[in-house]
Amino acid sequence: MRMILIGPPGAGKGTQAARLVDALAIPHISSGDMLRAAVAEGTALGVEADGYMKQGLLVPDAVVIGMVIERIGKADCAHGFMLDGFPRTAPQAAALDEALSVAGVSLDAVVLIEVDDSLIVERICGRRSDPATGAIYHLRFNPPPADVVDRLVQRKDDTEAACVARLEKYHAETAPIVPFYEAKGILRRVDGVGSPDEVTGRLKSALA
């Protein structure tokens, strides 16, 4: 299974990605992890990317796409992969599609986890973490024990203002890749509302 996982922030992509790669026995290729690995390994593309990052610049799409092609060419991707975190824009999707075509690789599916914005705001703004144990709670969906409530903290990007800004960026930049893949007939829409087990079941059905 060669696939891309997309969806808005707070849709549960991290949880579902971990479950799917385990069930499908394919590597999870996070754009951030891939970038850090290439830099650590000192590959030609990694060195080039590191140069941009040290200057505080974004790594150009062409370099990231080159890394993707390099990464999926490794032995562990022979039977498939899950790409997560890239592409993030319509131009990136088009450029990646062209690069995959040149490499002789075709995608089986692009899976979109859908969750309404209002629920995403509730999910994200209710998250709290315990600095003592690292445990993550949610004020409504996974309430913390009474004895730890006073020490819980909220991440700066889990405020309503930050969440709304992230959603606006997603709708402006990332959502336009949906019709691109829909036109290719490989988009799979999955309802992300419900328990993690319920969503996993829907994902497996969509990919069957």
Who's near 9: CB < 8 A, 6+ residues apart? 120, 124, 163, 166, 167, 170
128 is catalytic: no
19 is catalytic: no
127 is catalytic: yes
188 is catalytic: no
Strands (E), the chain: 2-6, 28-30, 81-84, 109-114, 127-129, 136-138, 187-191
CB atoms within 10 A of CB 157: 12
Who's near 32: CB < 8 A, 6+ residues apart? 85
**Catalytic residue among 2, 71, 123, 127, which?**
127
Q: Which of these, 37, 32, 34, 26, lies nearest to 82 by C-alpha position?
A: 26
**Catalytic residue among 13, 71, 123, 188, which?**
13
Report the alpha-carbon distance of residue 151 to residue 158 in Å, rounded: 17
Report the alpha-carbon distance of residue 190 to residue 201 in Å, rounded: 10
207: tokens are 């990919």
**Catalytic residue among 19, 36, 88, 189, which?**
88
**The tokens 């990231």 sit on which residue?**
64
156 is catalytic: no
Query: Residue 33 in contact with residue 83, Cβ under 8 Å?
Result: no
**Catalytic residue among 19, 36, 166, 204, which?**
166
The catalytic residue positions are 13, 88, 127, 155, 166
